[in-house]
Structure 1
Amino acid sequence: MSLINQKRTFSHGLTGLSRFLEESFLDVTKPKRKFKFFRGLIFANYDYVVRFPKVKICDFLSMYPSARGLEILMNLHQDERWSLSDLETLYLLALISMKKAPKIFEIGSAHGETSYAMARINQDTHIFSLDLPVDDTVAHQNKMRWKNTPQEQHITQLYGDSTTFDYSPYLGQMDLVLIDGDHSYLTCKSDSVNALKLINDKGIIIWDDYQSLEVRRAVNELLPQENLFQLKGTNFAVLDRSLT
């Protein structure tokens, strides 16, 4: 497996301190509130750092040795709209190539770059990509990366709030679910619950931005840590039912 001009990008989630300050502002200039403030600060850090530590970090080839020697054709993007690093894109496409996943559900469409990349890797793949409602769906789809490409016929654009969307037509059918939508705790937890219902008995769930404390908390609360792993060099957390 090789990658030309490989680069990695990292973003930073909220710390316990910033999350605590965001949720409960206290005027610490008043002596009586100082103790309450620092006690809250301690619990904020405990909640986000101790209770919800990161899962084990695994090398891709150690988890998927059959990928050794696999060649993945990639178009590297310098466009700032591209949300995944090149290494994350490589691993995502490798998983699709190995699994020959015919059905993928993506939560969070953005500009359609990831949908387009996933549709290119396997001509039998079909992608259902969910994004928030828009006023003009035609105008929105005309701006998507996959518009007027051969991959367009393999992508179904869906609209709705991921926390209230009716997933019933897709339950148990997906080979892979990519969660890359709203990264808040409540939304990510809801998306994760739905993803577990969407995948089949050999399906994979990938959470992007697992370094975010909100995402980490939602994922780790919902699932036993021993069933999860983070791919080394990426911000992907993975649950793969075919490995259990």
Structure 2
Amino acid sequence: MSDWRILSAVIGGVIRHSIADPGQIRRALLDDLWVDLKSFGGATVRPIELSRIRGIDLVQVDGPVRRRSALVLATIAAILDCDTVFELGPDRSQTADLLAHNLPAARIYTLAPGTAGPARTEDDQRVTALQGEPATFDFTPYSGKIDLVYIRTARPQARLRTSTDAAFGMLSEYGTVVWDAYTSDPAVYAFLNRLAPSLDRPTFHLMGTPFAVYSRWDLILPPD
């Protein structure tokens, strides 16, 4: 079957599905299109395929398939052979537990407002839940010691700036920063496209995920 005949069949299918369930078409097609447009249209944050992450084919991680983005984060942490990970922002999806499960030798720190909850998994002994705000928390003990900093959505934008400053202050020699919600939160998108030109190394959007990443190690392979 030629591409033109396939195109005709595809267009016909889209029309049929849009009549049967217009809401699904909007969610599944237009939302994804908007995400892709933002990714490729970023002024300074470069979009890359996951296949360009160095060593990604050599790593296996364990976790629920529905938590694909968290599994990608765990994969990056495993590739970097992280000894320390610091998560800034509320851990509503228990990403820290997933990281601890896949990094048996790593120490995981989380910082969020409010009171730390009870232990959640057998890996929780290596997860240290800290309480506080990035603007007032003393990061001095972690300065230059953290291999991966994961920044969850931080509103208002001033908190995002404070969290990012704290992240770079904590980074080890070959450390990496991952920002969540790059394609879903307009504030994060705008902030990172303003920030990227001022950094000493490029910032990338990992396509198919909400993550933007900066690394002091050569995490991203050059294009073919």
TM-score range, shorter chain: 0.7 to 0.9
Which whole-Å deviations, capped at 9, do the CAs of 1:168-202 have from their partners, x for residues lacking one? 11111000000004243211111111111111110
- One-letter amino acid of the counterpart of residue 117, structure 2: Q
CA contact (8 A) 1:201 1:241 kept: yes
The aligned counterpart of 1:57 is: 47
Q: How does 1:34-113 map to 2 (within 5 A)?
A: 53=43, 55-64=45-54, 66-76=55-65, 86-111=67-92, 113=94
Q: Distance in 1 between matches of 2:146 and 2:74?
A: 16
CA-CA distance at 1:216 after TM superposition: 2.1
Q: List alignment gaps of at least 5 residues for structure 2.
A: 1-27, 32-40, 220-224
CA-CA distance at 1:52 after TM superposition: 6.7
CA contact (8 A) 2:45 2:192 kept: no
The aligned counterpart of 2:34 is: none
Q: How does 1:78-227 map to 2 (within 5 A)?
A: 86-111=67-92, 113-132=94-113, 134=114, 137=115, 140-142=116-118, 147-211=119-183, 212-224=185-197, 227=202
Query: Cα 1:54–1:185, aligned 2, differ >3 Å: closer, same or farther?
Result: farther
TM-score computed with the length of structure 1 as normaliser: 0.67
- One-letter amino acid of the counterpart of residue 218, structure 2: L
Moved over 4 A (4+): none
Secondary structure in structure 1 of the residue aligned to 2:63:
coil
Q: Distance in 2 between matches of 1:95 and 1:52?
A: 22
- One-letter amino acid of the counterpart of residue 74, structure 1: G
- One-letter amino acid of the counterpart of residue 72, structure 1: V
Q: Distance in 2 between matches of 1:117 and 1:173?
A: 21
TM-score computed with the length of structure 2 as normaliser: 0.72
Q: Distance in 2 between matches of 1:117 and 1:148?
A: 11
CA-CA distance at 1:222 after TM superposition: 2.7
- One-letter amino acid of the counterpart of residue 158, structure 2: L
Aligned residues: 181
Q: Distance in 1 between matches of 2:97 and 2:214?
A: 23
CA contact (8 A) 1:186 1:218 kept: no
Secondary structure in structure 2 of the residue aligned to 1:203:
strand
Which whole-Å deviations, capped at 9, do the CAs of 1:28-80 have from their partners, x for residues lacking one? xxxxxxxxxxxxxxxxxxxxxxx97361110122132x221432211345xxx
Query: Cα 1:171–1:60, aligned 2, differ >3 Å: closer, same or farther?
Result: same
Q: Distance in 1 between matches of 2:63 and 2:93?
A: 16
- One-letter amino acid of the counterpart of residue 123, structure 1: P
Q: List alignment gaps of at least 5 residues for structure 1.
A: 1-8, 13-50, 78-85
Q: Distance in 2 between matches of 1:194 and 1:55?
A: 20
